[in-house]
Structure 1
Amino acid sequence: MEGLSAAFAAQRLQLAAKAALAAGLAFLIAPLMPGAAANYPYYAPLGALVAMYHNVAGSVRQGFQALAGLSMGIGLAVILVNIADPSPLTVALFMGIGVLLGGLPGIGSGSDWIPTAALLVLLVGGSNADDFSFGYLVQMGAGVAVGIAVNFLVFPPLHLKAAAASLDELRLALGRQLTDMGAALEEEWPPEHEEWSRRSDELASAARTVRHLVKEADASRRANPRRKLHPRDIDRDYRNLRELERVTFHIQDMTDVLSDVIWESDVPYTVPLQDNGPLAGAITATGELLRSFSDEDPQQQEDLYQAARTAVEACMASTATRELDEGAVPASESILLSLHRILRAVHPPSASGAPPRGEPLEGGD
C-alpha cells in the first residue's frame, strides 16, 4: 500500500496549497466588501478554509452547509438580543437550542456553526451585533465563494488512480492469500509458513478501504470539469468492488476453516490427507487467476479461468470417490464450495460478456 500512501500525501499537499491560495485571495478581496462587512476581513479566509474539500462537490456542499448553519446561529443570537439581555441562563438555553437545530436533516457540517455563530455574535458583536452579524455572514460567504472557485478552477481533484490502484492491490492480496494457502496444503503439517492464517482481518480492512476509495473517486467526478478529459467507467469499478467483496468473504471463510484444521485440535472436521494435493492445486489455480486480472490480455485471463475451473472440478471428482473413516467430517467440501463461488464472482469478460477489467488507467489523480 506504499503507492497509495504516496498518493494520499500528494493529495494532501495539493489541498494545502489550494487552501493557502484561497485564503490569501479571500483576504485580498475582504476590504472590498460593502458597508460594515469591510471591518471584519479575517472571516473571509476562514470561509475559504471552510469550503476547501478534497473534491469539488464536497466543497459546494460543505460551504453551503456552513453558511446555512451560520445564518441559523446569527438568527438565534439576534432573537436573544432582542428579547432579553445575555445571561448565563439565556446563553445556555440558546446554545442548547442551537445544538438541537444542528440535528436537522441536511444541515451536515453546518451543525457545529449554529451555536458557534450565535456565541460569536453575543460575545464579539456585543452592542454592535447587527453590524457584526452582517459583516460576519458577508465575509464568510465571500470566503466560501472563493474557496469553491479555487477548488473548481485550480486543478480540481480526481481520485481515479487511487481507486483503480486499490482494486488491483486487493485482487493481488486475495490471490496471494489463496496461493499461500495452496502452498500450506503441500507442506508437512503443521506448515512452517503461517502468515496467511493471520490475514483475515487484514483482508476485511483492505476491502473496506477499497470501497471508501471507489466512493471517493465517484464523488470527485461530480461537478468536476476535468471528468470529460479523464473518462472512467465508475459503474464498472463498483461492479468489480462488489465482486471482490464477495471473494474476500469466501477467502476469509476458507482461511478460518483451514487454520482450524491445521492448528486446532478440538474442531469436529478435518481435511483428509488424500485431499491435500487436489485441493492445493484448486486453491493455487484460483489464486493465480485472481492475480492475473491486472493483465491486459483477456485470453490469458480466460486460460487461467479455465485452468482454475478444471482444477476445482478435478478436486470435486477426487473427493467424490474417496473413502472416509467412519465419523469423519471433511472440510474439503466447504473449501471447494467457496472456490466455486469465487470462480462465479470473477468470471472473466471473454467468458461472460461482462465489461472488460484491468484496462489501462485513463487519467485522474
Structure 2
Amino acid sequence: MAVSNRSQRLRPGRALVKARDTALSGLRRAASRGRLELAGKTALATGLAWLVGPLMPGPAAHYPYYAPLGALVTMYPTVADSARKGLQSLLGLGLGIGVAMAVAAFTSANALAVGAVVGLGVLVGGLPRMGAASDWVPMAGLFVLVIGGPRADAFSAAYLLQMVVGVAIGFAVNWLILPPLHFKAISSAFSRQRHALAGQLEDMAEAMNEAWPPDHSDWAQRDEQLARTAGEVRQAVHRAEVSARANPRRRRHPRDLGEDLKDLRAIERLTFQVQDITDVLASVIWEERAGTTVPPELTRELGAALRAAASVVRAWGEDDVEGPIEAAQEALAVLSTGFADVISRDASVNATASVAMSLRRTVQIVRTRAAR
C-alpha cells in the first residue's frame, strides 16, 4: 500500500515515540499496585518458609533453603494459578525423584548417569498436560542424583518435604492476604478498545473530507494495533475469570463474568467491522486497480455516517447510547438515499455499500449489548 511522502518522513519520529511509550508502559507495569502486592507477598512467604524450614524433622532440617524455593514457585497473581503451579511443581519433583532413583539403582553419579537422568527427565516432562511440572522433572532428578549421592533416599525425602512446606506457605499467604481480583482491568481494557475503534472511525471520516490521497494515513496502518488492543480485552476477561476461582473475596465483590464474555464477543465483532471498513477505504484511496470506488458526491454523507457510528461506539458503556444510535441511523438513511441517485447514473457504489453495511452492523452490535 502506498503512503504519502510526508508519512514516510515521519516514520523515524514515530518509531522513537513508540519506543519511548513502550518503555514507559513497561515501567508502569513493573511498578503497578498488583505487582507491588505480589512482590510483598512473595517476600513474606519466602521469609516465613525460611523460618519454618529448619524446624522440619530429621534430615529435612539440613536443607531449609528448599522451603523458600517452594514458596517462590507458588506465588502467582491469582489464587487458582498458585494452586495449579504449586501442585504441578510437586508433581514434577516427585517424577524427577523417581527418575533419579531408577538411574541411581544401577550406577553412581557420573557423566553417563547425569545425561541419562536429564534425558529421561526431559522425556517424562514432555507428557501431555504437565504444565510447570515439565521443567521440574529433569531439574529435580539432577539434584537428587548429584546432591543426594549415596544418600539419595534421605535427600529426596527432605527435598520433597521442604518443597511441600514451601508450597503450602506460599499458597496460604496468597489465599489469605489480599487475594487479587482482576475485575477493574476489564473496564479499562474495554474502554481503551472502544475509544480506539471510535478514533479509527473518526479518522476515516476526516479522510472522507480531504483531497485524496489524504496527508494523514496513519489510520490505514492500524490493523495490528486494533488487533492488539482487542487481544488485551480478551486477556483482561480471562485473567479476571481465573482470579475469581477459589478466591475468598469473590462473594464480597460480585461481578457477572458471563456478561463480560458477551461484551468481549461484541467488541471483537466491532473490531472486525472497523478493520473491514479500514481495508475497503484504504483500497479505495490507494489501490487504483482494485475496482473499489466511492463516488465523490457520497464522500460527505459517508464521512457523516462514519462520524455518527464513532459516537455510538464511544458512548457505549459510558453514556446513553439511544441518542447517538438514532443519529447514526439517520446518517445511514441519508447515505442510502444517496445511493439511488448515483446508481441511476450507472456509477459504482460497491465500496460505499460495503462500508454502510459494516456501519449498520456496528450500530446493531452496540444496540444489542446496550439493551441488556
TM-score (norm 1): 0.90
CA distance in 1, matches of 2:265, 2:307: 22
In structure 2, what residue type is equivalent to 1:169?
R
Name the structure 2 match of 1:96.
119
SS of equivalent to 2:358? helix
- Structure 1: which amino acid aligns with 2:328? A
CA RMSD of aligned residues (A): 2.0
The partner residue of 1:217 within 212, 218, 240 is 240
Q: Does 1:334 align with 2:325?
A: no
Query: AA paired with 2:361?
Result: R
Partner amino acid, structure 1, of 2:275: Q
The alpha-carbon deviation at position 329 of structure 1 amounts to 6.0
Separation in structure 1 between the aligned mates of residue 247 and residue 290 of structure 2, nearest angstrom: 55
* Match of residue 176 from structure 2: 153
Structure 2: give runs of 5+ residues left out of the alignment. 1-20
In structure 2, C-alpha distance between the alignment counterparts of 1:4 and 1:127, rounded to whole Å = 48
Aligned to 2:18: none
Matching of residue 203 in structure 1 with residue 226 in structure 2: yes
2:339 is matched with 319
Q: 2:163 aligns with which of 108, 119, 140?
A: 140
- The residue aligned with 1:174 is 197
- One-letter amino acid matched to 2:115: A
Per the alignment, residue 357 of structure 1 pairs with none
- 1:347 matched to which residue of 2? 367
User: SS of the counterpart of 1:209?
Assistant: helix
1:193 aligns with 2:181: no
1:131 CA displacement? 1.4
Q: Per the alignment, in what secondary structure is the counterpart of residue 134 of structure 2? A: helix
Q: Distance in 2 between matches of 1:34 and 1:324?
A: 93
| SS in structure 2 of the partner of residue 321 of structure 1 | helix
> 2:65 aligned with 1:45, yes or no?
no
* Aligned pairs for 1:53-64 within 5 A: 53-64=76-87
Give 2:286's match in structure 1, choosing from 263, 268, 275: 263
Residues 26-82 of structure 1: per-residue CA shift (max 9 Å, x gap): 001111111111110000000000000010000000000000000000111111111
1:279 matches 2:299: no
Quick one: distance in 2 between partners of 1:348 and 1:7? Answer: 34
Segment of structure 1 superposing worse, 27-36 or 1-10 = 1-10
1:226 counterpart SS class:
coil
Contact 1:271 1:331 in 2 (8 A): yes
Question: Cα distance, 1:94 vs. partner?
Answer: 2.9
Quote the residue 2:59 is aligned against. 36
The alpha-carbon deviation at position 306 of structure 1 amounts to: 1.9
Name the SS of the counterpart of 1:346 in structure 2. helix
Q: Quick one: distance in 2 between partners of 1:161 and 1:143?
A: 31
TM-score by length of 2: 0.89
Alpha-carbon distance between aligned partners in 2 of 1:184 and 1:212, rounded to the nearest angstrom: 32
Runs of 4+ in structure 1 over 6 Å off: 1-5
Distance (Å, rounded) in 1 between the aligned partners of 2:51 and 2:261: 43
Distance, in Å, in 1 between the alignment partners of 2:116 and 2:340 is: 74
8 A contact 2:273–2:358 mirrored in 1: yes
How far has the Cα of 1:324 moved from its partner? 6.6
Which one is further off, 57-66 or 118-127?
Answer: 118-127
Q: Among 216, 239, 250, which residue is 1:227 paired with?
A: 250
In the alignment, the residues of structure 2 paired with residue 325 and residue 349 of structure 1 have an alpha-carbon distance, to the nearest angstrom, of: 40
Q: Is the 8 A contact 1:98 1:115 kept in 2?
A: yes
Is the 2:343–2:349 Cα contact (8 Å) retained in structure 1? no
Counterpart of 1:291, as a letter, is R
2:133 — aligned with what?
110
In structure 2, C-alpha distance between the alignment counterparts of 1:129 and 1:349, rounded to whole Å: 62
- Name the count of aligned residue pairs: 349
Instruction: Determine the C-alpha separation between the residues in 2 that align with 1:151 and 1:269.
Output: 57
| Cα displacement (A) at 1:139 | 0.4
Provide the identity percentage. 45
> Residues 91, 325 of structure 1: CA spacing in aligned structure 2 closer, same or farther, 3 A cutoff?
farther
Show structure 1 runs of 5+ residues with no match.
355-365
Partner residue, 1:363 = none
Inter-CA distance 5–254: structure 2 relative to 1 (3 Å threshold)? farther
Match of 1:305 among 322, 325, 329: 325
Note closer, same or farther for the CA distance 1:215–1:236 as it changes in structure 2 (3 Å cut). same
Q: 1:121 aligns with which of 144, 154, 175?
A: 144
Report the Cα offset of residue 247 of structure 1: 0.8
Distance 1:101 1:40 in 2: 26
State the secondary structure of the residue aligned to 1:331: helix
Map of 2:49 onto structure 1:
26
- The superposition leaves residues 191-247 of structure 1 with CA deviations (integer Å, 9 ceiling, x where unpaired) of 233221221210011111111111001101111111111111111111111111111
Please point out which of 69, 76, 96 is paired with 2:92.
69
